[in-house]
Each structure stands twice: as structure tokens, then as C-alpha cells.
A and B are shown apart, each in its own frame.
Chain A
Amino acid sequence: MSRGKNKRGGDHADDVKKGAHEELAANPFEKYDLDPSEGPTAITERLRELAEDATCDEERDEIRAAWEELTMHPLRRLRAAFRAHPEHREPLPRRPRARRAARSTPEPLALLDLWSPPELHALFEDDAALPDLPLVDDPALKP
């Protein structure tokens, strides 16, 4: 089945030489995955997004032409809707959102939080005093 904003065509259609089916004029509602029941505002919004993502002027012009076709004259939009598969699928249930951890209110920093222990401070003052140990055995890093 066609994929989102892509032109008509599915997985195995990729095998067909690119552009070989350009002659088959696609309905703008289907070409840009628009629901005919949505009004001009929604169509404009969706096509604007696509135009912003377009990579070349040719593609942008195509989107503009489709936008004009679907929004400038209601009867042309209606005729295009008659030639587009209507949305009759059973709506999918909303996917439950991942439960986020309860957000606790951060406590304001106290002076103690900014204080570093003197022994740790001393370690960084003198490089030579650093123990020659693996990190896991470093007592300064022990909890």
C-alpha cells in the first residue's frame, strides 16, 4: 500500500523502474495522503508541510498545483474526492502513552550541594597525589 506522503506505490512497486508509471495520473488526495473529508484548511496545512520538506522546485511546483486543484475551486475538489478512495477504515485505538515517572519538584540548591569535600579537592590540586589505581578501586570514587 502507498506510504504516507509518497506517491502511489508500494513495496514491490519499488522494483519497477523509477518513473515508469508517471503516466498514471494519481489523484492528489491519494498522492499526498490527504483525507477528502478534511477541509481546505487542513489540506493547505498538510501541503505546506510537504512543500517545506520538498527538495526541489519541481516537487514544490507539483505540490502547489495540487494545492490549487484542491482548494481554489470547491467543485474541482469535489470531483477529485469522487475519484479518491474514501476513509472507511475502522479507527485505530489510540496508543497508550508511555507512563512517565512522576515528576518531582526539584528542590532548590543548598550551599552544601555546592561544597566539595576537602580531601577530594586536595586530590585535584596535586596531580602527583593521584593514586595509580583502576577507577573501580579508587577510594575517592567509592560511594
Chain B
Amino acid sequence: MKTSPLLARCENEVILGRVFCELTYAGAPLPHRRAASLLDGFRDSAEYAAALRGDVSPLVKRLTQEELKDERDKHHAALLFSHAADCVTFRGDLERAHPLRVRAINLFRSISVSYYTGIADVVVSGTPAVEIKEAARAAGLDELTRVGREARDGALTRSRRGAAAMKILGRFVGDVEGARADEVRVQASAEAAGAVQVALTAVEDGLTEALAKAEPGADVFVWLGEARKVWDWSGQHVDVEKFMVAKAKPICWEIYNAKRWPALRQMTALLRPIVSSLATRIEQTREPIAYAANTAQMLVFESEMDARLEKQIQIAERALRICDTHRNARVVLCDFFVHRANRTLDNASVFGQQGARRRATEDAERARALWPSSKRLSKLDQRLARSRFFG
């Protein structure tokens, strides 16, 4: 027997209310009752029958995972999940809000532009078609815009909600598949970059003021520490890495020239994860290639401040991997190889002379390939020649 429209409506409203509470929390402000027509297409399903018996979990699972076909259902579901994410965010349960928001974004972008223009035909008249098309196109990405606004709002104070918004944007910056993937990626990148820019404004001002003093002092470290916090807040955004490397390099040179080694060690320790992350990006994608030289120089500073020779070589080799023409990296790595060769010869036992000489020669060849005019290398060559003669 066919259910009467009024009863169907009432059932849908009750079930959707329960579904919404399952998605959010008891007492959450429910969506508009028109939202209940989302369930029209599920009425004959086993999940709906279970929901009528009091178990809404299967229906919630289906609504959360199923790829909806009908444009109207997508619209209702997108608004439902968006509202659910708002409610849960409002309660401070940001972890729980994340999948709800991602679902809303994915549903919104899956709605065709023609569906939106169909709504426009009914809602407005006399508006130029170009404007309507633009509004319809933007509607599919509106949820991302809202997330971007939330990120910017929380950027200056580095709020938890802002960080959660950055995390959502980060989800759409990388590999995105499905409808309007390119547009989504561009929009998410722009929103995230905008928020990072806001977050770095205060840091940049503070850093500029701190650098106006005679030599880099404690306040420089404070502001670079703040930039590091922005990096953590933003989910390790590449723009923060670029900013920090660009700002820190001249400061490091100033400290280096003043031979303030503890300060340089402190600086490289502070910057290590940022420099490493940027170096990884360059190694993997060659994307921020304009920053390769700066990053390589920061790695050179780091290698010089490390006390372990093998680690020093490892870091300097990495600097060369991302910028193979970097002069300082070549000079420093050449010195490290020469140093290791000398050490190998120094520590050789009576019976291990031959092997030590072979290893030292290999290092000398590596050093020669990097910086043939090194004076230390010449001395090493002389030492190796002597050892061959006497050995």
C-alpha cells in the first residue's frame, strides 16, 4: 500500500532528525524540514526500514559514503553535511567535523553548473546570463570559500578552528580526483595561501623590526619561533617554508660572519624541520625550484654546525642534490671528504694501511670532482703520494 504523502513527509522528517543527531549530537539545531526530501529516494531501502525500527546507523553510513546520482539529492546532502559540520565545529569537536566538511565540499563540487542555473531560472529573472553562470560556477566551490574564510579568521591568533580549516584545505591542495578537480585544487591553494599570508603578517613586521637593530639578537629567534608556530598551525604549508628560508638566510650569514657559532647552531636547530621539508619538496617535485639555492645554503649551514662527520657529509650531499651547482655546498663537501680521508689515514692500523689508503684515495677523487682547486685536497694528494712511496 502506498504511504500517503503526509505520512511519508512526517516519517522522513523524523528519520532525518535522528540521522542528523547521529551525525552531530543530540540537541543540534536541525536543518530545515525541506531537507527531509533527501530521504525520498531511500524509502524503499533496508537502511530506511532499519531507521524506522530505530537504528539509523546503516542509513547514516549510506548517506556518508554513497555516491549520489540525483542532482537534487546531492544539493540536499551537501547542505546537510555542511550544516552538520558547522554544528560540530561550533561544539569544538573539530576532528569529527573534518570528514563532514570534506563530504560537503565533495558533494557541492559534484553538482553540475546546469543544475544551479536551473535554480537561477526560477529564483531570479532579468539578471545577465554571464552573472548567473558565474554565480552558478562559484556555488559549487562555495564551501571551500567558507573554509578559506574560517582559516583566515583564525590565522592571526592561530586558532584551533583555523588550523582545522587549514587541514581541510590541505586535503584538497594535493591529489584531487573527481568533479572540477583542477578548479578545486586552485581554489584550495589560493585560500590556504591567503590564510598563511595573514598569519605571517605579524611575524614579518616583528622580524623586520628586530632586524633593524645592530645585530640579530634574541628577538629574531623569538620571531622565527613564531614563524615556526605558523608552520605547525598551517599544516606545514610551503609558503611558510619559503618565507622562513628567505628570511633566515641573511640572518644566518650575519651570525656566521660574526663567528657566533652557538647562535648559528641554535638557528639551524630551529630551522631544521622547515629546511628539510622544503628540501624534500624540491627533491620530489622540483616545485619551489627558485628556492633551491637558498635551501641548499641553509643545509650547508646545518652541515657545518653538526659535530658528526658522516652526518655532515650526508647533509651536504643533500644540499648538492637539490642544487648541484651550489658553490658553497661543493666547497664544504669537498672539505668533508678531505677531512674523512685524512682521518682514515690517521686511524689506519699497521695491517690496514692498504685498505685505508684505498678508501682515502676514493674520498680524494670525490673531493676532486667537487672542487679541484682545494688547497686541502692538494695537501691530501701529497700525503697519499708519500704513503704510497713509503707504504
Which residue from chain A places its CB closest to the CB of B140 in the assembled complex?
Answer: A82
How far, in angstroms, from A79 to B145 measured CA to CA in the complex? 13
Which stretch in B4-12, B174-182, B220-228 binds the other chain? B4-12
> By the criterion of a CB under 8 Å from any partner CB, how many residues of chain A are at the interface?
36
| One of A2, A13, A23, A81 near B33 (C-beta < 8 A) | A2
Supposing A12-B21, A89-B36 touch, asked if A82 and B116 sit within 8 A by C-beta, the answer is: yes
Query: Is B218 part of the contact surface with A, judged by Cβ < 8 Å?
Result: no
Is B139 close to A, CB under 8 A?
A: yes
Q: Which of B323-367 contact A (CB under 8 A)?
A: none
Interface centre among A1, A27, A37, A89 (most CB of B within 10 A): A1
Set A24, A79, A85, A92: member contacting B79, Cβ < 8 A: A85
Q: Is the CB of A74 within 8 A of B127?
A: yes
Given contacts A15-B27, A78-B123, A83-B79, contact A88 B34 (CB under 8 A): yes
Instruction: Write the A12-35 contact mask toward B (1 if CB under 8 angstroms, else 0).
Output: 110110000101100100100100
Q: Would you call the interface of chain B mostly helix, strand, loop, or mixed?
A: helix
- The reply to whether B33 and A1 form a contact with Cβ atoms under 8 Å apart is yes
Bound CA span A92–B28, Å: 28
Contacts of B132 in A (CB 8 A): 78
Interface check B126, CB cutoff 8 A: yes
Which one of B31, B37, B90 contacts A89 once the chains associate, using CB atoms below 8 Å? B37
| B13 touching A1, Cβ below 8 Å | yes
- Taking a contact as CB atoms under 8 Å apart, the answer to whether B90 and A93 are in contact is no
Question: Within 8 Å of chain A (Cβ to Cβ): is B47?
Answer: no
| Chain B nearest Cβ from A10, distance in angstroms | 4
In the complex, A12→B13 CA distance in Å? 13
- Contact among B17, B116, B119 for A10, CB-based, below 8 A: B17
Contact between B17 and A1, CB atoms less than 8 A apart = yes
B5 touching A86, Cβ below 8 Å: no
Binary contact track B30-47/A, C-beta < 8 Å → 1, others 0 = 111111110010000000
Query: Are A77 and B27 within 8 A (Cβ)?
Result: no
**Interface residue? A126 (CB, 8 A):** no
- In the docked arrangement, what's the CA distance between A8 and B142, Å? 21
Q: Give Cα A92 to B26, complex, Å.
A: 30
Whether, in the assembled complex, A91 has its beta carbon less than 8 Å from a beta carbon of chain B, the answer is yes
Is B34 a contact partner of A77 (Cβ separation < 8 A)? no
Q: Which residue of B lies closest to A3 (CB)?
A: B33
- Contact A1:B16 (CB < 8 A) given known A16-B27, A89-B36, A92-B6: yes
Shortest beta-carbon distance from A43 to chain B in Å = 10
Q: Are B75 and A86 in contact (CB under 8 A)?
A: yes
Taking a contact as CB atoms under 8 Å apart, the answer to whether A81 and B123 are in contact is yes
A51 at the interface (CB under 8 A from B): no
Q: Assess the B135–A78 pair: CB atoms within 8 A.
A: yes
B95 part of interface (Cβ distance < 8 Å) = no
Instruction: Write out the residue numbers on chain B whose beta carbons fall within 8 Å of the beta carbon of A90.
Output: 5, 8-9, 40
**CA of A12 to CA of B28, assembled, Å:** 8
A27 to B76, CA, bound (A): 14
- The answer to whether A89 and B29 have CB atoms under 8 Å apart is no
B120 located at the interface, meaning its Cβ lies under 8 Å from any Cβ of chain A in the complex: yes
Residues of B within 8 A of A78 (CB): 119-120, 123-124, 127, 132, 135
CB distance from B62 to the nearest CB of A (A): 19
Name which residue of chain B comes closest to A40, CB basis.
B124
B66 interfacial contact with A, CB 8 Å = no
**A27 vs B35: C-alpha distance when bound (angstroms):** 13
A131 at the interface (CB under 8 A from B): no
Contact of A93 among B5, B27, B40, B122 (CB under 8 A): B5
Question: Cβ of A10 and Cβ of B30 under 8 Å apart?
Answer: yes
Across the A-B interface, give the 8 residue pairs with the lowest CB-CB distance, nearest first.
A1-B33, A85-B34, A74-B124, A30-B32, A10-B30, A82-B139, A9-B29, A88-B37
- Extra contacts, 12 of them, besides A1-B36, A84-B34 (Cβ < 8 A), are A2-B31, A2-B32, A12-B21, A15-B26, A15-B27, A16-B27, A24-B83, A74-B123, A74-B125, A81-B120, A85-B79, A86-B72
> Which B positions have Cβ atoms within 8 angstroms of A?
5-6, 8-9, 13, 16-17, 21, 26-37, 40, 72, 75-76, 79, 83, 86-87, 90, 116, 119-120, 122-127, 131-132, 135-136, 139, 142
- Give 12 pairs: A residue, B residue, CB < 8 Å, sorted on A: A1-B17, A1-B36, A8-B30, A21-B29, A78-B119, A79-B142, A82-B119, A84-B79, A86-B119, A87-B34, A88-B76, A90-B40
